[in-house]
Amino acid sequence: DGGITQSPKYLFRKEGQNVTLSCEQNLNHDAMYWYRQDPGQGLRLIYYSQIVNDFQKGDIAEGYSVSREKKESFPLTVTSAQKNPTAFYLCASRIRAGPDTQYFGPGTRLTVL
Amino acid sequence: AQSVTQPDIHITVSEGASLELRCNYSYGATPYLFWYVQSPGQGLQLLLKYFSGDTLVQGIKGFEAEFKRSQSSFNLRKPSVHWSDAAEYFCAVRSGGGADGLTFGKGTHLIIQP
């Protein structure tokens, strides 16, 4: 089945530790995205990548980092500089050309203790 | 900057009744508009989208939405809701220019009464 996988579904970390969230897609999509969701806040864009080895900051990139070494993979690292990292993180992808739809993964809930 | 407003945080509807969820956007040109649905703890599923053409668009699960440029609105409707429609609904907009990513509203939580 084609789709987007995010792992793990639940993640717990101690304050001050960096943590990396995985996002993999087998849809052959060019562009990939990371969003953060907080209760009552909707989704906010963290980073996006339109092609391999290139990525751009979104609206709330501070305290996060990404890499895009392969077309299928777009991992997100939540660093210790992120002041309030506990949230639900959603990865999405789409075909780059045209106004096409973004498809979302199942999400990872990160809790920092 | 573009923005999306969903005025209703919560809506309660009886099963079998009609539904309308409101969405207003702020964007200068013709936007690309989307409605997504999210069940608790899950990712987002696309219900429908508007890019151009017919302003009344049909989606999955019996949903439809109408784009009204004069009102900057893209309201979601369903003639008869089912208990399984209880979820969080998000309206989103994407600009047609070089900027990427979606701008989301804060969501409307739909509660279905038996």
Output the pLDDT for position A1: 60
Chain B residue with minimum CA distance to A39: B106
Averaged pLDDT of chain A: 92
Task: Using CB atoms, pick whichever of B43, B45, B104 lies closest to residue A42.
Answer: B104
Q: What are the φ/ψ torsions at residue B71 (nearest 5 degrees)?
A: -105, 0
Residue among A45, A103, A107 whose CB faces B101 most closely: A45
Nearest to B43 among A42, A45, A107 (CB): A107
Question: Which residues in A have their CB inside 8 Å of a CB on B?
Answer: 4, 6, 31, 33, 35, 40-45, 48, 50, 56, 58-59, 88, 90, 92, 99, 101-107, 109
| Structure token pair of residue A37 | 């969701």
Q: Do B51 and A99 touch (CB under 8 A)?
A: yes
pLDDT at B30 over 80: no
- Are the beta carbons of A99 and B106 separated by less than 8 Å? no
DSSP string for B27-56: -SSPPEEEEEEE-TTS-EEEEEEE-SS-SE
B107 inside 8 A of chain A by CB: yes
Q: Is B36 on the interface with A (CB under 8 A)?
A: yes
Kindly report, residue by residue over B68-91, the tens digit of the pLDDT: 999 999 999 999 999 999 999 999
**Where residue B10 falls among pLDDT bands split at 50, 70, 90?**
very high
Question: Would you state the pLDDT for residue A47?
Answer: 96
CB B93 within 8 Å of CB B102: yes
pLDDT in the model for residue B27: 77
* Reported confidence tier of residue A95, pLDDT bands at 50, 70, 90: confident
Distance CA B38, CA B86 (A): 9
Enumerate the residues of chain A whose CB falls inside 8 A of the CB of residue B32: 99
Q: What is the mean pLDDT of residues A62-78?
A: 97
Half-sphere exposure of A74 (CA within 13 A, CB side): 33
Å between A92 CA and nearest CA of chain B: 9
Q: Which residue from A minimizes the CA distance to B96?
A: A99
